[in-house]
Chains A and B, each alone.
Chain A
Amino acid sequence: MNYTEGPEIRDTKAPSGPIEERWEKRKFSAKLVNPANKRKLTVIVVGTGLAGGSAAATLGELGYNVKSFCYQDSPRRAHSIAAQGGINAAKNYRGDGDSVYRLFYDTVKGGDFRARESNVYRLAEVSVNIIDQAVAQGVPFAREYGGLLDTRSFGGAQVSRTFYARGQTGQQLLLGAYQALERQVAAGTVTMHTRHEMLDLIVSDGRARGIIVRDMVTGEIERHLADAVVLATGGYGNVFYLSTNAKGCNTTAIWRAHERGAYFANPCYTQIHPTCIPVSGEYQSKLTLMSESLRNDGRVWVPLKKNDTRAPGDIPEEERDYYLERIYPSFGNLVPRDIASRAAKNVCDEGRGVGPGGLGVYLDFRDAIARLGRDAVEKKYGNLFEMYERITGENPYDVPMRIYPAVHYTMGGLWVDYDLQSTVPGLFVIGEANFSDHGANRLGASALMQGLADGYFVLPTTIGDYLASGPYGDVDEEAVAEAEVKVRTKIDRLLSVNGDRTPDSFHRELGKLMWDFCGMERTEESLRKALDRIPELREEFWQNVKVSGTAEELNQVLEKAGRVADFFDLAELMCLDALVRSESCGGHFRAESQDADGEALRDDEHFAHVSAWEHSPDGPVLHKEPLEYEYVKMTQRSYK
């Protein structure tokens, strides 16, 4: 795949000056919309997860006329609901030395120096308001006997800044946002469109002015116009077919916006979570994550010998390899996600993996049970053990769990400036759908924080600046019609192929290819192979896919086919981005770029930039946004 390099791109919105004053400055410099004018302004928000739900609710509260869209049957079901661990906030309620600055520092470092300092600082700053907001909404966070909020240390952080609601923090935060959203629906400021899928962005006069959606029940193609469009459509981890994402998660909204001019930044940055339940067979439809907290007491091991088929209990101590403890004596089983994931892959590649297909490692609680007693282990991890048993039919009190890494989160996404505005004026992108705050690796409990920071606090301020500069005139009917025709043509094309392979079978094959060649470890060779193979598979898809039914009804096959088609195009860009970025950083590990110990080796001289890709008929155009670090000194991560 050929690409060209275009001019550098810069974020022009972040104010200069001391980092702790920048957000305050931007809030003050942002133009305000007259309250009487707000209800004359329409904002479309696509997606109702933490970012989209909170944004739509807040914009509604401010008085804008909001149209909210989701593909699920209710806004409450967006995949934010599945987040387990917690949400970070620099409240320093423990007095353990936490501060906005420390959260900022940890996030920049955790992102392996590939995120913008200004954005990350604002995220840390706003984090404290999120907790206040959620508590006031009635989010039932865990509390201590004194009635105050409980916090825990999470993902290797040295301070206790993670607020949680048992293992269901995402659910409780999302329900808070959902309830705020429904309050606005009742108040008439938000119109809710469930079971609607965005299929194109309407760009008129160079500005985002609406979307084309398909009513998934009737099949009707609808046009919705607005003064600004907000995409909060989540990540694209399902390009790997198997991931911890919900089945419906897809890239269509951001991909089609990308085709309309929004740059796609760092598509290759994917996070692989180390503790998921392994695949049990060909039919596997998704992977289930288990909380990282299991690594606090569980010990990870594989047999020393290759292809050892003995039951785990029959393998004596001296024939077990507790490889994380061996390689990383100081962090042991608690090394960061990317390192734990890669180590698991390495031992499995050596032929020492366990379970079906040799794709698994043991997470053993035998020693923890002996040390703490079964009751204590049950109290701590009972619900997780139950979940494991429900899925695998094995009892982890007797048999060690089997775990394997799985795609979990995508740090890449549409490029946005400090105002969260993409390269298409009037198109804002929030939450996992944008690229902005996590750099090359996201820390645990930071995704919820970013989604809500964007939705409740950042976007409602910055979008006002854009809207206040309007009005932007009437929408060009030709642009609307063109987008609608494009959508209809694509649907008709999918229905007319009438081949003999299902969209899912193509998706599975694409996913396997991506996992093998653009997964935890990438090499120039593997990526080139993927770049050869993807166009072939896409070609076969368009020749041989079978989409049953019609366009004028609820048609889940058609929905799937459209999403898979976009995954092909995205997959290609991901591989290209991974190929061009020949360094290793965070979740992106290029085998060619590692130090003597096999650790990821950054190349700051050549790659301290964001790769923002522009869509063009002649192949992608790469625009680099240089990253500068004024506050946090760039260092190599080490967890030995």
Chain B
Amino acid sequence: MTATIERGAATAPVASPKAAPSARTPKKSGRFLGSSNGKKVVMAVTGAVMVIFLLSHMAGNLKIVLGKDAFNEYAHALRTMLEPYVPYRAMLTLVEIALVVSVVLHMWAAISLARRARQARPVKYVAKKSQANGYATHIMRFGGITIALFVIWHLLDLTFGVVNPKGFDSTPADRMVAGFDASRWWVTLIYVVAVVMVGLHLRHGIWSGFQTLGWANHTRNRALRPLAGLVAAVLVVGFLIPPLAITFGVIK
């Protein structure tokens, strides 16, 4: 009796690596956005757009310190930017579109990465202890959701005036002052919580963006980490001055 050698294949039943994706399978093009790394790049870029927006938004808000007129003029200027070359509100609309796109993409990337993460760990640990403070883990996703909810409230309150005591037909400065009136202290409280959340989100997020884009390393981190903290702190302080000043009656 003889047995022949089966060339090129296992001669006996061999447990195949469970439908494991074989290495080097040609990937279809355009995988970049589908890849986990690509999604992170989307987060980094859209995050950067939003940080720039927040900085200018904060600067604008601080105009209220100079008086209601200054603030209203600023709000008006946003709408008449580059007139008469472009129609009324054109630039602002463009900025708004860019922001909406950024928010949507940022959230899409976050949600799909979170879903990926859940699939990557179907069985949870009985005991799990963070060794890196757990800061980024908890703050980023939980914070992101909190911020998203706040943005909806914030738009309804101060942009569309739906939940603002002064309603839509008022000047921006009136809406702001009315919105943060001492009687509505809880609005201010929500605002404070949200702004602090934004700060915490950015403290990690700004550095994380650099890391994702491949610009961070341990030498640069000595500057990048403090920079992220500084930007986050400036934003928190800058955003909190107007509402607190209004609530405590400094600005009327």
Contacts and interface: CB of A to CB of B under 8 A. Distances in A.
Contact of A42 (B1, B7, B14, B23): B7
B10 A477 contact: no
B133 interface: no
A477 B1 contact: yes
Given A220-B13, A225-B3, A474-B5, 19 more contacts: A42-B5, A210-B11, A218-B15, A220-B12, A222-B11, A222-B14, A223-B11, A223-B12, A225-B5, A225-B6, A226-B5, A474-B2, A474-B4, A476-B2, A476-B3, A477-B1, A477-B3, A478-B1, A480-B3
A475 B2 contact: yes
Contacts of B10: 67, 191, 193, 222, 224
Contacts of B3: 225, 474-477, 480
Contacts of A474: 2-5
A217 B15 contact: yes
A40 interface: yes
B8 interface: yes
B24 interface: yes
A620 to B, nearest CB: 32
B5 A222 contact: no
B12 to A, nearest CB: 4
Nearest to B3: A477
A215 interface: yes
21 contacts: A39-B7, A40-B7, A65-B8, A67-B10, A185-B23, A186-B23, A210-B11, A215-B14, A217-B15, A218-B15, A220-B13, A222-B13, A223-B11, A474-B3, A474-B5, A475-B2, A475-B3, A475-B4, A476-B3, A477-B1, A477-B3
Contact of A227 (B5, B9, B14): B5
Contacts of B24: 186
Contacts of B5: 42, 225-227, 474-475
A224 B12 contact: yes
B74 to A, nearest CB: 58
A478 B1 CA distance: 7
A83 B2 CA distance: 44
Instruction: Give the 4 A-B CB pairs with smallest separation, nearest first.
Output: A222-B12, A477-B1, A474-B2, A477-B3
B246 to A, nearest CB: 59
Interface size on A, as a range, is 20 to 34
Interface in A211-263: 215, 217-218, 220, 222-227
Nearest to B2: A474
Contacts of B1: 476-478
Nearest to A185: B23
Tell me what chain B mostly uses at the interface: helix, strand, loop, or mixed. Answer: loop
Interface in A28-72: 39-40, 42, 65, 67
Contacts of B11: 210, 222-225
A203 B8 CA distance: 21
Most chain A C-beta atoms within 10 Å of own C-beta, residue among B1, B3, B8, B24: B3
A124 B246 CA distance: 85
Given A475-B2, A477-B1, A477-B2, A65 B7 contact: yes
Contacts of A222: 10-14
A40 B8 CA distance: 8
Interface in B219-238: none
A186 B22 CA distance: 8
Interface in B99-152: none
Contacts of B15: 215, 217-218, 220
Interface string A66-91: 01000000000000000000000000
Interface in A179-195: 185-186, 191, 193
Contacts of A210: 11
A526 to B, nearest CB: 45
Nearest to B24: A186
A588 B14 CA distance: 43
B160 to A, nearest CB: 57
A226 B4 CA distance: 10
A217 B4 CA distance: 27
Contacts of A215: 14-15
A455 B9 CA distance: 23
A39 B4 CA distance: 16
B6 to A, nearest CB: 8
A67 B14 CA distance: 12
Contacts of A226: 5
A205 B18 CA distance: 37
A217 B14 CA distance: 11
Interface in B1-40: 1-15, 23-24
Interface in A134-151: none
A226 B3 CA distance: 11
A23 B63 CA distance: 87
Contacts of A223: 11-12
B64 to A, nearest CB: 59
A210 B13 CA distance: 15
Interface string A475-492: 111101000000000000
